[in-house]
Structure 1
């Protein structure tokens, strides 16, 4: 009850709960350790422009006093202030119940009225003259320009205003300083008027009158004012957009391929022999390492003996992995089953189920020698990213977003993302082209040290964009990444930024973030080269851009219905779909299967990315209408060697005939011999299942095999040895 409304008094709580006042006090103070703390009013600090202005005025005043000691006696100071009507909470009203570890309330609440009045005050050691600006207007410049009127009022109000003050009007120097000060007042108070349209109109009118009155101030200074790069002021006028001259001729496919190229040729340009050799070497090394472990293996363990794999077998393995992503099976063993419900001839025709599981168990890539959490995939990931960059140069528009790979195992840098379908898993930060080609990937690995003068998000974006800076690209990001400092850093690297923005980012204009809009209303402000705009459709949308002047344009939706939207929102919607498009296409046929080893899922995910990128290049180069599923099937056929004209019913028969042909040994006699045990096997006799008994559905083990057959099948001495050779015509 107290946590829902911390302003409740002891009397109110006691009345609502029908408990004595002292009991409530004892519970809150002694048992819960809470106390009532009143908020304190914290004064606001001056900004950079205000500090410099006060410093400059003080220096000019000191110089004037040193040159003319009587100057201080002739000074009358004028200033303006806003008088608000508001009610501030008392200490009793602002007091809240707080635990000892909770901070004090920052400031008491106050209810401010919508109306405010501008007060002009002139004073020396007392108030000489004061006047309220008429209600509904906060334009001080109209009053500041009437120098003669104000001076006459001051002369009437104070006897100390002598002829010296009238003579000191010296309009030449005074009007120049006045024009400069009026310009600063206009920029600082441009957003404080009650009506946006009235304020803009007044500012434009005052600018025109200034240019007419002051011959030393030209129109060009007002149209394109020179501003320092670190100017923190928000303006209502536009400035020219920087043109970084993106080289469109250098964008496109960088591979040396012809227009009639086949799918497997494009795929092998990215997933080339260098990638395959790294996988083969790492898989063989890890398989031998498992076999040489000191702990004893079970009799039929796949770790007891490992045969090194080669390029042909690894291509078949990857082809079967791509094929299984298009099929639904409850387990891997079902893929190789001869059961009529699960039988699929493509898998047993390539390799046995035990061999597939053995390669899958040892499947890995080269490991980096460091303490990096990603050391199991770091070298492989960097190699593939380099292949992606060398294969395709993107157009001007780039998109950056995060992707999530489902993983619910034990991993300290796995993350939770509420908006994703998988919810839990390994997070990837991906940089893509506007059409979905994946250019760069970074895996989230938990907290990391920030670079100097940059936040974590800023460092992440600069790392992903490192190869594409200073080239004139246009980066689209969502509100997770966008901020004012990041846009300035990218702009200094010749890169434009457009995207949505979170309302709690530091440095945003309060007149934009706090303003309530009607549906379809659009407002904006500018700081240096960065524009922050706010538009309301169904809800408020805050946007940041350095590439467009904020304006409303006509656009059509999917149903060809025209609607007015800001230009920055329209271009953001058109170019921000790169990462989502890549994720959508890869999600249809995903290689990663359930496993407790996270790096295997990442490797298979990178295989999917390589297939998708090669498909993107294939479509752009050939202009083919081939579908993504057809492209994958073409790669699977090339990797496994399965002819697209072969009938599935004859596939296994062809495999058996090939084995039988290899077993024929030109009439050589066949003799049984003892099966030689594998290395590190502690017993003298080694047993295997009899091939002939297995065909008859009998589970029987034997220690003998055929001496002359190439596959050395395990066979019982009698009668299986003779029966097996007779049936296979060996």
Structure 2
């Protein structure tokens, strides 16, 4: 593994794991990834939150020298960790911590299981919290980590909805799809909701962006699902989603599919859809709608 001097660092906002690459002097590869991604943010007194794959004593020391703090979960097989903390047996609610180099704190707390943490800006202070189990104490280090990490978890959850990724795709196509149809979509949703104060689904954002890229031709053929349609759209035949009932999708049988299946003696096999014609107020699947209009 080659080593790269710190003065030759180049920042990156997106990193693709290729199985090889250089590491920064004094750091392993995961720690080097953190530094490269956060290079423009160093020397500003910021706090970096990372999970147990990236954290370590060496990374904490490096960032502290760059006036940046680190907080995150920690793997017990990382090098230079205090063995008395790693091997300590704890009961639920117990906590033990040790400070290294006067600024790196390694903490172990037992909740449902052992939680190992590292931080350069926390001690072993605890805060009273209330949960379904009642009153308990939780380390401030854990609370700050959870508060920062939950944004990433929510973004990952939102990006997996209606994902266009498929196992058969080439890897570089997956990268492009992730940026355009997942990361950008979630960012657009967040910005829209903060700017307007109204809620919008991930699917609505995807459809609005695709329709914008494809232009007016698609807009004339089929209106968007977003509720901000012009009032004149109800005066022409157009396929739209049936209004939800108590927040749940409403599904009905396509009228043409039902008639065809009824003639065959199997009306219950008719396709159920959640779309209807704005003008006819009848339920259609896409195929039958195009044939009827």
TM-score over 0.5 for the pair: yes
Cα RMSD for the two superposed structures: 2.3
Q: 2:78 aligns with which of 505, 521, 536?
A: 505
Cα distance in 2 for partners of 1:573, 1:580 equals 10
SS of residue paired to 2:84: helix
Cross-structure match for 1:583: 156
Contact preservation (8 Å) 2:52, 2:75: yes
Q: Is 1:625 the equivalent of 2:199?
A: yes
Q: 2:141 aligns with which of 538, 546, 568?
A: 568
Cross-structure match for 2:28: 455
Cross-structure match for 2:130: 556
Q: How many residues are paired up?
A: 211
Contact preservation (8 Å) 2:70, 2:121: yes
Q: 1:464 aligns with which of 27, 34, 37?
A: 37
Deviations 1:292-327 (A, max 9, x none): xxxxxxxxxxxxxxxxxxxxxxxxxxxxxxxxxxxx
Pair 1:594–1:477, CA change in 2 (3 A): closer
TM-score by length of structure 1 reads 0.27
Pair 1:501–1:618, CA change in 2 (3 A): same
Cα distance in 2 for partners of 1:648, 1:593 equals 31
Contact preservation (8 Å) 1:595, 1:601: no
Cross-structure match for 2:104: 530
Cα distance in 1 for partners of 2:237, 2:178 equals 31
Cα distance in 2 for partners of 1:536, 1:457 equals 26
Pair 1:491–1:622, CA change in 2 (3 A): farther
Cα distance in 1 for partners of 2:211, 2:69 equals 44
Q: Is 1:485 the equivalent of 2:75?
A: no
Contact preservation (8 Å) 1:553, 1:567: yes
Higher relative contact order (CA 8 A, sep 6+): 1
Structure 1's unaligned 5+ residue stretches are: 1-384, 387-439, 650-730
SS of residue paired to 1:576: helix
SS of residue paired to 1:471: coil
Deviations 1:518-552 (A, max 9, x none): 22111111121111111111222111111222112
Deviation at 1:488, TM superposition (A): 1.2
Contact preservation (8 Å) 2:185, 2:202: no
Pair 1:602–1:565, CA change in 2 (3 A): same
SS of residue paired to 2:191: helix
Cα distance in 1 for partners of 2:167, 2:118 equals 41
Deviation at 1:597, TM superposition (A): 2.9
Q: 1:635 aligns with which of 199, 203, 209?
A: 209
Deviation at 1:603, TM superposition (A): 1.5
Cα distance in 1 for partners of 2:78, 2:129 equals 29
Pair 1:502–1:592, CA change in 2 (3 A): closer
Deviation at 1:560, TM superposition (A): 8.3
Structure 1 or 2, whichever has the larger Rg, is: 1
Cα distance in 2 for partners of 1:578, 1:601 equals 23
1:374-413 alignment runs, 5 A limit: none
Contact preservation (8 Å) 2:93, 2:136: no
Cross-structure match for 2:18: 445
Contact preservation (8 Å) 2:188, 2:205: no
Cα distance in 2 for partners of 1:489, 1:594 equals 38
Contact preservation (8 Å) 1:487, 1:497: yes
Cross-structure match for 1:647: 237
